[in-house]
Amino acid sequence: MTGANSGIGRVTARTLALQGYRVFLACRSEARTRPVLEEIQSLSDGTAQAEFLLLDLGDLGSVRRCADAFLKRGLHLHLLICNAGLAGQRGMTTSGFELAFGTCHVGHFLLVELLKERLVESAPARIVMLSSKAHRHAQGIDFDRVRQPTRSRTALQEYAVAKLANLLHAKELARRLEGTGVTTYAVHPGVVATDVWRALPSMLAWVIKLFMRSEEDGAATTLYCATDPRVTGQTGRYYADSREEQPSPVACDPALAAELWRRSEGWISRG
């Protein structure tokens, strides 16, 4: 899973490892991931299987190296959790995309494509995509702007577009993987007090944190979609508070989902 060294990802990785899953924590920093690995080993008396994989979602070369490192192990892949994200940070990724969009969507799109065949071979398998109710603030995707630096002061407009892209990606994946035994789930974890908000202006961050839930509460819906047998036959749907919800109308637009897929394929072929 991506983004597993803090926040929701840390709780999710720890829970899965303690439940007996072999977990790979795909993160940018081994030093920041090591405490999570040590925590998992401590809680399991050294019996849990958890490993670090180097991954920078903003660098498509790094995404390819990460996928290759996993595939070379020759293991089955029954669960892929695309958890990593950021909000309130401005700029561009190494690979030339608006920072939130490139990290949250483009990097994950490539990772899924590189691991998709292994997921199908390992079926039944699940892909859980961390979206957000913030997707409701996006009226669509400006495909020119996502190739430019962040424009808004808070970067929350761009975050909303990135989370819309995550949801559209999960829906289009479900359509393309129908009948393979691989199912997809888009998740709103709630507004959670994690590092994802670390770059927001201090006053805005303080106001948002008044309404935040704990990391454990935030991980609950991810874990529900990742492991609960009640959602086994469901795919391409959106969940919050461990139940299905209806996303925004634009998130249900098949033409937009298809266009996002077409452009994403072009981006990763050149990146």
- Catalytic positions, please? 159
Strand 182-188 to 125-130 pairing = parallel
**Which residue reads 């937009």 in tokens?**
256
- d(CA 100, CA 200) in angstroms, rounded, equals 13
State whether residue 52 is helix, strand or coil.
Answer: strand
Q: Residue 82: left (phi > 0), alpha (psi -120 to 50), or beta?
A: beta
Helix then strand then coil, % of the chain, to nearest 5: 50, 15, 35
Query: From residue 52, how far is each of 10, 121, 195, 233 by CA, in Å?
Result: 12, 23, 19, 31
**Burial of residue 54 (number of CB atoms within 10 Å: 0-12, 13-18, 19+):** middle
Query: Nearest CA to 198 among 32, 17, 55, 34?
Result: 32
CB 106 within 8 A of CB 97: yes
Query: From residue 161, how far is each of 136, 153, 156, 166, 187 by CA, in Å?
Result: 9, 15, 9, 9, 15
CB 110 within 8 A of CB 271: yes
**Which residue reads 């303690």 in tokens?**
18
